[in-house]
Amino acid sequence: MMRFLLLFSRQGKLRLQKWFITVTEREKKKMIRDMTLMVLARPPRSCNFLHWRDLKIVYKRYASLYFCCGLEEHDNELLTLEILHRYVELLDKYFGNVCELDIIFNFEKAYFILDEFLMGGEILETSKTAVGTAMEEAATLQETMEEYMSKPTF
């Protein structure tokens, strides 16, 4: 299973953090710092895989964002690259030409999309369209309830 998924910018600013294991707040901060340092230090045309403690780290850079996740021994690194790519595609489909700013200003949506795609460190849905459909329907639900309550969204 995937242990965690982090998104951070080239300056090391965290944009999203998903933890599939239970760790202390302090430990999380340390891991984030380690990941950021390690990944940002990599020369441009390096291999996308690293070893850190007992985990395999897979990272991929998309424009100004680094997607970084920690895998266990049995996980397939090459497939994880595909997982990261699929997540980016989902974000792209949802936001339309997604960029870092979209994720900054709509971080909660990035989380919702992620939660339709992965769960407990495993892939939940392999269909490209199913995630998008779920997001749309849930949004409708939100609007319906808001309209009913006639109160503004957050």
In angstroms, what is the minimal distance from the CB of 16 to other proteins?
8
- By CB under 8 A, tell whether 122 contacts other proteins: yes
Amino acid letter for position 85: H
111 binds other proteins (CB under 8 A): yes
Q: Interacting stretch for other proteins, rule CB under 8 A, among 62-70, 92-100, 118-126?
A: 118-126
Q: Is 44 in the site for other proteins (CB under 8 A)?
A: no
Burial class (CB in 10 A: 0-12, 13-18, 19+), 151: exposed
* Site for other proteins contains 108 (CB under 8 A): yes
Alpha helices in the chain (DSSP H): 25-40, 77-95, 100-105, 107-117, 128-149
DSSP code at position 47: -
CA–CA distance, 21 with 18 (Å, rounded to integer): 9
What's the closest the beta carbon of residue 25 comes to other proteins, in angstroms? 9
Identify which of residues 63 and 85 has a Cβ nearer to other proteins in the complex. 85
CB-side neighbour CA atoms (13 Å) of 35? 31
Q: Note whether 16 and 5 are within 8 A (CB).
A: yes
Identity of the residue, 10 or 29, whose beta carbon is nearer to other proteins in the bound complex: 29
Structure tokens at 58: 């897979």
Say which amino acid occupies 35.
Answer: M
Residue 62 found at the interface with other proteins (CB under 8 A): no
What is the smallest separation between the CB atom of 111 and other proteins, expressed in angstroms?
Answer: 6
Q: By CB under 8 A, which span of 62-70, 90-98, 109-117 interacts with other proteins?
A: 109-117
- How big is the site for other proteins, counted in residues (CB under 8 A)? 53
Task: Among 12, 20, 61, 95, indicate the residue that binds other proteins (CB under 8 A).
Answer: 20
